[in-house]
Chains A and B, each alone.
Chain A
């Protein structure tokens, strides 16, 4: 279960960000930026090795649950990208993507 899902463009701005509970969004923004640094470290450590789907995951940044979540997220992301009316760099407004993220978010009552 996730508390925050974010998709970051290569220019380091968020294409999509959602968190539960919604008030802590700024906190999560910071966390996302910190994790970008960890991502950068890992990528440079990997050197020139060929990257396949699994390795895009970069092994968990922190040890938590399964990477099926990432897979689902990535598949939905590629579906958004394939929409001919979506320009890369736009905020992601797809309802299908939203409902997939909802299914992954922690339910806070």
Chain B
């Protein structure tokens, strides 16, 4: 029996509260395991990287996005397609510099931090949702784009919005791929 040509991608949904509480438990445990905020941030980023390198395959399979021709197209797709697909939110995108390789994703609300009122005492430089930075970085690397992704602003730290900065570094050599055709 042959598979139908265009099969609708199946979305297996889970309860959002369960997901948010699981993430919270992860961060709380890391905070117990590591004294320094920098270490917790680093491990969240590393874990996110591992997720991103895998998630990109799922994303490309489900979203059918076309090849991008500019960094700003990529930033738009991350915000409008990827964030929407996985977190149900659509951050707005701004370009931060004239050479058009630094972008910001501005999140009005951050579902991962829904139950966190504020960072606990002694954890003022914790980037609670740093997993997201790792995920974006890992996913971009798998499509041959090197980028630095960090939190520029965070509501949990008292800022008015949550802002993720993506700085695209030099493109990883993909011209080699084209020549193989």
CB-based contact A96/B21 at 8 Å: no
| Beta-carbon nearest neighbor of A83 in chain B | B115
Q: Mark B111-152, 1 if CB is under 8 A from A, else 0.
A: 000011111100000000000000000000000000000000
Does B169 make an interface contact (CB < 8 A)?
A: no
> Bound complex: CA of A82 vs CA of B116, how far in Å?
8
Q: Mark A86-98, 1 if CB is under 8 A from B, else 0.
A: 0000000011100
CB-based contact B17/A84 at 8 Å: no
Using a CB-CB cutoff of 8 Å, which residues 64-96 of chain A contact chain B? 79, 82-85, 94-96
Does B87 make an interface contact (CB < 8 A)?
A: no
> Bound complex: CA of A85 vs CA of B27, how far in Å?
9
> Bound complex: CA of A79 vs CA of B17, how far in Å?
11
CB-based contact A83/B117 at 8 Å: yes
Partner of A82, one of B27, B115, B119: B115
> Bound complex: CA of A75 vs CA of B31, how far in Å?
27
Query: Which residues of B sit under 8 angstroms from A84, Cβ to Cβ?
Result: 21, 23-25, 27-28, 115-116
Closest 3 CB pairs of A and B: A84-B24, A82-B115, A84-B28
Q: A residues touching B (Cβ–Cβ < 8 Å)?
A: 79, 82-85, 94-96
Instruction: Please count the residue pairs between chain A and chain B whose beta carbons lie under 8 angstroms apart in the complex.
Output: 28
The total of chain B residues at the interface (CB under 8 A) is 15
CB-based contact A94/B24 at 8 Å: no
> Bound complex: CA of A107 vs CA of B21, how far in Å?
36
CB distance from A99 to the nearest CB of B (A): 11
> Bound complex: CA of A80 vs CA of B28, how far in Å?
15
| Beta-carbon nearest neighbor of A95 in chain B | B117
| Beta-carbon nearest neighbor of B123 in chain A | A85
> Bound complex: CA of A84 vs CA of B40, how far in Å?
15
Using a CB-CB cutoff of 8 Å, which residues 1-44 of chain B contact chain A? 17, 20-21, 23-25, 27-28, 31
CB-based contact B31/A85 at 8 Å: yes
> Bound complex: CA of A79 vs CA of B113, how far in Å?
12
Contact of A96 with B24 at beta-carbon distance under 8 Å, contacts A82-B17, A85-B31 already known: no
| Beta-carbon nearest neighbor of A85 in chain B | B120
CB distance from A89 to the nearest CB of B (A): 15
Query: Which residues of A sit under 8 angstroms from B117, Cβ to Cβ?
Result: 83, 94-96
Can you name 22 A-B residue pairings with CB atoms under 8 Å? A79-B115, A82-B17, A82-B20, A82-B21, A82-B24, A82-B115, A83-B24, A83-B115, A83-B117, A84-B23, A84-B27, A84-B28, A84-B115, A84-B116, A85-B24, A85-B28, A85-B116, A85-B120, A94-B117, A95-B117, A95-B118, A96-B117
